[in-house]
């Protein structure tokens, strides 16, 4: 069992978390003019790097979304931070 550090609650079991999205992926705009192929790529494709990754995760227990920097190869969590405008206490 791995523990992830929620910026709001502290370390919790990984089963309490859910991957949400790749962090820093720009939404194509204006959406009405984006091709279906480009929109599908935005929604479903990710860089999926081997090594350091920046991802958005949600802690289902508190409902907060946050950024997790982790190494996908070693599974080490390098940092977790609240999203801009959401202050962790």
Q: Which is nearer to Zn ion, 13 or 52 (CB)?
A: 13
User: In this structure, how many other beta carbons lie within 10 angstroms of the beta carbon of residue 6?
Assistant: 23
Confirm or reject binding of residue 83 to Zn ion (CB under 5 A): no
For residue 61 the two structure tokens come to: 């227990």
Rounded least distance, CB 16 to Zn ion, Å: 8
Number of residues interacting with Zn ion: please give it, by CB under 5 A: 5
Confirm or reject binding of residue 68 to Zn ion (CB under 5 A): no
Give Cα 19 distance to the centre of its chain. 6
Instruction: Give the containing element (helix H, strand E) for 39.
Output: helix 36-44
For residue 85 the two structure tokens come to: 């405008």
Q: Which is nearer to Zn ion, 21 or 41 (CB)?
A: 21
Confirm or reject binding of residue 6 to Zn ion (CB under 5 A): yes
């Amino acid at each position: 069992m791995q523990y992830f550090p929620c910026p709001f609650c502290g370390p919790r079991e990984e089963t309490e978390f859910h991957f949400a999205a790749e962090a820093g992926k720009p939404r194509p705009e204006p959406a009405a003019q984006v091709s279906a192929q480009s929109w599908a790529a935005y929604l479903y494709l990710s860089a999926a790097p081997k090594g350091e990754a920046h991802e958005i995760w949600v802690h289902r227990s508190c409902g907060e979304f946050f950024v997790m920097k982790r190494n996908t190869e070693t599974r080490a969590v390098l940092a977790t931070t609240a999203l801009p405008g959401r202050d962790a206490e």
